[in-house]
């Protein structure tokens, strides 16, 4: 027997929401999903009228739904925002080149200006070349660090007031788990913030409008709205450390559906002891972008690649310093031998 929609609209339900367990019809699900994001934006005061907002667009389900919903809410509630799309091309053959076609479709569908920046353009390297140097281990470290800084670079070039990313509830819960397992207290508290950076700190803020949206519901919304998105997983992703946290979270969610929100709320309430040394976020002396170390991680990784020491920025700083010292000693010895030959 058909189940009636829980919102008493008179229509039959077609789904049970993974997040709340409510039985809803398609139209009521759309409205509930969109309204929750609107409430998040309003309660957290993510935007101000007249701001220029860059949506970090990868062509995947999260950024596609974010672009669609932001465009919809901007018109429905008169936010007064100037929305643009910002994409990063990591240079992964068979993955990013195809997903950028989807981003171009989003640009045409929503009438938003699009800017694409590539690793090749910014760093002189592509992920395919980095992969050839570093191998399948630690490649996600390079991609993640370079991508985060590339978004900052793109935001500055586009002169936007903030960047909206498609991080959803599952992503944030996974990050909490990863930081706990790594004992990373600095990132553990910060990863739950819905807004990071500020103009006062001379950094372009980033916001997460989908912070409380379940991944399953994002997929359902995209599917039933018939949104065009790229669903192929990155060819390097199977080796990512995040995959283990994701598998653990999925198993946990089967037993306790509220586990995702429970982990996020726990992360939000965490208090770090005053005796724990916390890194101070500042600006890198080399590139001028936000960093909690000198030089920043992106500059260290790039230096390693250019020196022929791709593992320079992997692991402890002291290990990297020893690698540089050894290389410089070898160069001096080689130069001394060449001098003696003459």
Beta bridge partners of 24: 15
Q: Is 37 annotated as a binding residue?
A: no
Q: Is 98 annotated as a binding residue?
A: no
Q: Is 56 annotated as a binding residue?
A: yes
Two tokens, residue 171: 């992503």
CA-based radius of gyration for the chain: 22
Other CB atoms within 10 A of residue 228 CB: 13
Q: Residue 105: is the preceding peptide bond cis (ω within 30°)?
A: no
The 8-class DSSP code of residue 24 comes to E
Please state, in angstroms and rounded to a whole number, the distance separating the CA atoms of residues 298 and 146: 6
Q: Is 132 annotated as a binding residue?
A: no
β-pairing, 195-196 with 206-207? antiparallel
Question: What's the per-residue H, E or C state across 162-188?
Answer: EEECCCCHHHHHHHHHHHHHHCCHHHH
Q: Is 150 annotated as a binding residue?
A: no
What are the counts of helices (DSSP H) followed by strands (DSSP E) for the chain? 13, 10
Q: Is 62 annotated as a binding residue?
A: yes
Beta bridge partners of 162: 53
Residue recorded with tokens 């409205």:
31
- Binding residues for ATP are 56-58, 62, 88, 166, 171
């Amino acid at each position: 027997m058909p189940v009636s929609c829980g919102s008493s609209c008179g229509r039959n339900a077609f789904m049970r929401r993974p997040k709340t367990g409510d039985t809803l019809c398609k139209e009521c699900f759309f409205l509930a999903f969109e309204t929750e994001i609107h409430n998040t934006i309003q309660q957290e005061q993510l935007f101000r009228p007249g701001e220029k907002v860059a949506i970090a667009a990868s062509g995947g389900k999260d950024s596609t739904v974010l672009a669609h919903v932001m465009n919809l809410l901007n018109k429905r509630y008169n936010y007064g925002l100037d929305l643009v799309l910002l994409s990063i091309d990591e240079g992964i053959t068979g993955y990013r080149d195809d997903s950028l076609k989807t981003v171009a479709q989003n640009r045409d569908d929503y009438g938003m200006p699009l800017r694409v920046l590539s690793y090749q353009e910014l760093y002189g390297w592509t992920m395919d070349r980095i992969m050839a140097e570093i191998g399948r281990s630690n490649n996600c470290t390079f991609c993640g660090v370079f991508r985060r800084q590339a978004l900052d670079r793109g935001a500055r070039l586009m002169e936007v007031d903030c960047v909206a990313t498609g991080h959803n509830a599952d992503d944030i819960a996974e990050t909490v788990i990863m930081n706990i397992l790594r004992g990373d207290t600095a990132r553990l508290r910060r990863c739950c913030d819905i807004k990071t950076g500020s103009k006062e700190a001379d950094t372009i803020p980033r916001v997460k409008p989908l912070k409380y949206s379940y991944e399953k519901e994002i997929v359902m919304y995209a599917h039933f709205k018939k949104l065009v998105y790229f669903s192929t997983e990155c060819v390097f992703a199977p080796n990512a450390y995040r995959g283990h946290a994701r598998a653990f979270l999925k198993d946990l969610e089967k037993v306790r559906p509220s586990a995702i929100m429970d982990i996020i709320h726990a992360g939000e309430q965490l208090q770090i002891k005053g005796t724990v040394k916390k890194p101070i976020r500042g600006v890198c002396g080399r590139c001028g972008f936000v960093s909690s170390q000198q030089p920043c991680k992106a500059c260290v990784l790039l230096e390693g690649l250019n020196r022929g020491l791709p593992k320079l920025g992997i692991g402890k700083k002291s290990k990297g310093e020893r690698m540089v010292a050894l290389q410089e000693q070898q160069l001096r010895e080689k130069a001394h031998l060449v001098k003696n030959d003459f």
